[in-house]
Amino acid sequence: LNKEMLIGNVGKDPEVKTLESQNKVASFSLATTERFKDRQGQSQEKTEWHNIVVWGKQAELIEKYVEKGSKLYVEGKITTRKWQDKDGNDRYSTEIVAAMFKFLSAKPSASGGQSAAQPQAAAPTASGSGLDDIDDDLPF
């Protein structure tokens, strides 16, 4: 089973590209933060950064509604890409290819207030998984 579920904040505005096939791909980083107390009882935080890739119609929604600081629930699979840099060295990149996501924060309006929440996006293969019914009042 290759499934990753994340709730975090977008680290910078998504980068969206349109391919020759007119299919869109969006990529962005997502920060997840774990808060805990160490052995001395001091509060600690550990932040992990995840590279997220979103394809097709979902990428269009990311382009329209997501910006730096947006809070998202993302579900997908971990993939590793291999390529060669300009010097011929092998390079690797690990990414989460999103199968579905849900907006957990409202998009700011141009006037600085909050607008209505955005729609949720799920790939056809993810429908019926029960994850579409996640409550907006998550405890974390």
User: What string of pLDDT tens digits covers the 140 residues of the chain?
Assistant: 999 999 999 999 999 999 999 999 999 999 999 999 999 999 999 999 999 999 999 999 999 999 999 999 999 999 999 989 999 999 999 999 999 999 998 755 444 443 444 555 544 333 333 334 334 444 43
Q: How many CB atoms lie within 10 A of CB 54?
A: 29
* pLDDT at residue number 66: 95
Helix (H, G, I), strand (E, B) or coil at 97: strand
Q: Do residues 4 and 62 touch, judged by C-beta distance below 8 A?
A: no
List the beta bridge partners of residue 73: 7, 102
pTM (2 decimals)? 0.73
* pLDDT at residue number 83: 87
